[in-house]
Amino acid sequence: MFTIGRRRPVTYVLGQPVKSFPEIAPEVERGTILRITEIGEPVLHTPAREVTAFGTPELAQLVDDLFTTMFVAEGVGLAAPQVGVDLRVFVYDVEDEEEDRHVGHVVNPVLEVFDGPEDEVEVSDEGCLSIPGAYAPLARPVKAVVRGFDQHGNPVELVGEHFLGRALQHEAQHLDGTLYFDHLTPEAQEAVIAEMHEERAGVLEERRAMSEALGEKPVEYPAEPLR
């Protein structure tokens, strides 16, 4: 008997397929919620430092805290400068177009984008947890590769296309002090700032509610952003 079934989604942890994985990443339960820095804060606009010590409790805690903070903010990626730490580390939890889930972290990532004349580029709305509530269309190469290490110093290689590729580019560029905002025209930047001011209060209230649902104390944000 021949049947046609629906493909079962796969979860990839640090780029490798796993048989099972919890709905909420284990790091979320271990971490602490931190304040997400916002556009205009110097740490977001300065290249981050390379990690030189692997396998430390401090690095493990940073990864956990990034996951917890990302979860509360309902994001798909978060870089260390976004919690005020100038180290080259980011975490991600992304579902791609095939409904496959990609979860993990990268330390000292090196980004390779495929932006030659024969490579595909696509335009899609993009946002950032450090510019709460604002989105803008942005053209990016479809494919990206990130190579780096896990927190223990083991090599990691991630290959992403479309949404995953965009997320990898977005997070890796954070570590160079570049936001998606920096790729926009002045007119688009002005619109993004205006939208952030309109939407920010609602976004922060959602983060507060998510924190309380997790049983954690919500963090406090400034009354107004710097921009």
Write out pLDDT tens, residues 174-193.
999 999 999 999 999 999 99
| Six-digit token string for 140 | 């990016």
In a domain, 134, yes or no: yes
Q: What is residue 48's three-state secondary structure? A: coil
Inter-residue contact 174 to 66 (CB < 8 Å): no
In a domain, 141, yes or no: yes
Binding site members for Fe cation: 128, 170, 174
In a domain, 15, yes or no: yes
Distance from C-alpha of 71 to C-alpha of 24, rounded to nearest angstrom: 8
In a domain, 143, yes or no: yes
Pick the more confident residue, 6 or 179: 179
Mean pLDDT of 40-52: 99
Sign of CA dihedral 143, 12, 171, 38: positive
Check residue 115 and give its pLDDT: 83
Number of structural domains found in the chain:
1
Check residue 49 and give its pLDDT: 99
CATH assignment of the domain containing 207: 3.90.45.10
Catalytic site residue from 27, 38, 41, 171: 171
In a domain, 199, yes or no: yes
Residue 7 has pLDDT above 90, yes or no: no
Check residue 6 and give its pLDDT: 72
Pick the more confident residue, 80 or 3: 80
- Boundaries of domain holding 34: 11-213
Mean pLDDT of 151-179: 98
Q: If you average pLDDT over every residue of the chain, what do you get?
A: 97
171 catalytic per annotation? yes
Inter-residue contact 160 to 168 (CB < 8 Å): yes
Residue 3 has pLDDT above 70, yes or no: no
Binding site members: 128, 170, 174
In a domain, 5, yes or no: no
In a domain, 226, yes or no: no
In a domain, 26, yes or no: yes
